[in-house]
């Protein structure tokens, strides 16, 4: 059931972003009216941000990171909301010292988010930047 709620949240976020609704607060209010839990919305947002960050490196890199997450931790991109350390490990494994570009994108997309899970993800990605230098 958790996957269905995340999928629903992702679909609504995608439609709203495509419709040009830029305000995260508006999105959250809309999602709450639809009885979608905030954590599910944040998992959906995590998926979108990771996909956007990895798009810069190409589909094969995205697939490798996704495969790394699944084979080592039996999880997917939305699960990185709860386990940012899994994402860091997968990015480091696939991108090596080139992970800075991915972490920069993730941080810039999430930096204005007031959710504690997102702040934990940002902290983890921020630390990754300095480890890779």
Residues ≥6 apart with Cβ < 8 Å to 64: 94
Tens-digit pLDDT profile for residues 107-133: 887 777 777 888 888 888 777 655 544
The domain in which residue 110 lies consists of 2-131
pLDDT of residue 78: 86
Residue 129: name the closest of 88, 90, 82, 94 by CA.
Answer: 88
Q: How many domains does the chain have?
A: 1
Tens-digit pLDDT profile for residues 52-110: 888 888 889 989 999 999 999 999 888 888 898 999 899 999 988 777 778 888 888 77
Q: Is the pLDDT of residue 23 over 50?
A: yes
Confidence of residue 26 (pLDDT cuts 50, 70, 90): low
Q: Residue 85 to residues 57, 106, 108: CA-CA distances in angstroms?
A: 20, 14, 18
């Amino acid at each position: 059931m958790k996957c269905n709620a995340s999928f629903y949240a992702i679909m609504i976020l995608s439609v709203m972003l495509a419709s040009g609704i830029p305000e995260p607060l508006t999105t959250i209010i809309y999602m709450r009216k639809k009885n979608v839990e905030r954590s599910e919305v944040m998992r959906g947002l995590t998926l979108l941000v990771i996909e956007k960050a990895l798009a810069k490196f190409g589909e094969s890199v995205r697939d490798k990171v996704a495969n790394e997450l699944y084979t080592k931790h039996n999880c997917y991109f939305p699960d990185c909301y709860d386990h940012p350390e899994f994402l860091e490990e997968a990015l480091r494994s696939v991108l090596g010292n080139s992970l800075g570009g991915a972490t920069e994108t993730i941080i810039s997309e999430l930096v204005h988010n007031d959710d504690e899970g997102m702040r934990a993800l940002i902290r983890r990605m921020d630390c990754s930047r300095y480890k890779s230098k």
